[in-house]
Amino acid sequence: MPRTGQPATRQVGAVQRAIHVLDALADAGTDLGTNEIARRTGINVSSISRLLSTLTGAGLAQYLPSSGRYRLGIRILQLASAARESLDIRALARPYLEELTEITSETSTLSIPGEHEVMTLDFVQSPLSVRSVAHIGRNSVPHATAAGKVFLACGGTVRDETLLAYTGQTIVDPAALDLEIERTGQRGWAWAVGEREEDLNGVAVPVLDEHEQLIAILGVQGPAARFGLEAMRAAVEPLRRRAALLASAF
């Protein structure tokens, strides 16, 4: 049979049934007996017994002699950990960046948090002739950018106590910055209005893992003359939806 470079579409029935068993154990929230697994999956009891024997032998399911029931095995955690380590957040986020730029017609960005700064990891450029230009590897100033404010609201800190003024709109008063970061945390998104560059506005949202830890930041930025307050507010919900989709991979 010739190789096409595409994955095969024909599926193995026994593997599908084993996946159904694992799904049942995962969804139950409690240990299950053979009959209950059969009822939940629609697979006959004798087949369930054979599947459980195989899954238990592989460490994917665990048999509890005291109750005669089953639960997910420790190897599930090992496989999940290995899968998480191999995830490429840039590749995962790329389709969402493309969608955000298509929706807003502005430049969308993916940033990752560091110790005191946020770095642009990827972006999709606006198709318009007048546009914001992003740069991979560029750090976002925490107190003067939308991505930076999200970073601070999620527990990040500035490198030093001096808040430099980049424009007349830059927040340089520590108390005012504290208030801005508090508002950012409460509403779940941040914006910067001409604070890093006079003619540049941006809005950003956090990407959080299951422990509410900051993984990354999605943002949209554009020329202030076009990407004003109303346009930034309109971008928040599309950003939030895609941040949630990206977070679900972790």
**Structure confidence by residue, pLDDT tens digits, 29-83:** 899 999 999 999 999 999 999 999 999 999 999 999 999 999 999 888 878 767 6
* pTM (two decimals): 0.68
Q: Which of 84, 104, 119 is the last residue of a domain?
A: 84
| Three-state secondary structure of the chain | CCCCCCCCCCCCHHHHHHHHHHHHHHHHCCCECHHHHHHHHCCCHHHHHHHHHHHHHCCCEEEECCCCEEEECHHHHHHHHHHHHHCCHHHHHHHHHHHHHHHHCCEEEEEEECCCCEEEEEEECCCCCCCCCCCCCCEECCCCCHHHHHHHHCCCCCCCCCCCCCCCCCCCCHHHHHHHHHHHHHHCCEEEECCCCCCEEEEEEEEECCCCCEEEEEEEEEECCCCCHHHHHHHHHHHHHHHHHHHCCC
Judge whether residue 1 has pLDDT over 50: no
Judge whether residue 8 has pLDDT over 60: no
Could you tell me if 24 and 40 lie in one domain? Answer: yes
Could you tell me if 58 and 166 lie in one domain? Answer: no
Give percent of the chain above pLDDT 90.
71
> Model confidence over 79-107: pLDDT tens digits?
876 766 656 888 999 999 999 999 999 99
Residue 1 domain flag: no
> Model confidence over 120-150: pLDDT tens digits?
989 999 999 888 878 787 888 899 999 999 9
Residue 2 domain flag: no
